[in-house]
Amino acid sequence: MAQESSQPRHHPPARTGPHRVVVLVDENSNPFELGCATEVFGLHRPELGRDLYDFTLCSAHPRTAMRDGFFTLTGVAGLDAADTADTLIVPNRPDTDVPRRPAVLDAVRRAHARGARLVGFCSGAFTLAEAGVLDGRRATAHWQWADSFRERFPAVRLEPDVLFVDDGDILTAAGSAAALDLGLHIVRRDHGAETANAVSRRLVFAAHRDGGQRQFVERPVPRIPDDSLAPVLAWAQARLDAPLTVADLAARAAVSPATLHRRFRAELGTTPLAWLTGERITLARRLIERGEDRLDVVARSSGLGTAANLRARLRRETGLSPTDYRKRFGRG
Q: What is the pTM of this model?
A: 0.72
Is the pLDDT at 121 greater than 70? The verdict is yes
pLDDT digits (tens, 9 = 90+) for 125-145: 999 999 999 999 999 988 888
- pLDDT for 308: 95
Phi, psi of 64, deg, nearest 5: -125, 115
What value does the mean pLDDT of the chain take?
Answer: 84
Q: Where in the sequence of the chain do the CATH 3.40.50.880 domains occur? A: 19-203
Protein fold of 227-332 = Arc Repressor Mutant, subunit A (1.10.10)
Alpha helices in the chain (DSSP H): 31-37, 102-113, 124-130, 146-152, 178-191, 193-203, 230-237, 246-253, 257-268, 272-289, 295-302, 307-318, 322-329
The predicted-structure confidence for 143-182, as pLDDT tens digits, reads as follows 888 899 999 999 999 998 888 999 999 999 987 778 888 9
Cβ distance 194 to 289 under 8 Å?
Answer: yes
Strand partners, 191: none
Task: State residue 14's pLDDT score.
Answer: 45
Assess contact for 47 and 202: CB atoms under 8 A. yes
Give the model's pLDDT for residue 17.
72
CATH number attached to the domain at 19-203: 3.40.50.880
Q: Choose between 78 and 328: higher pLDDT.
A: 78
Name the segment(s) of the chain with CATH classification 1.10.10.60.
227-332
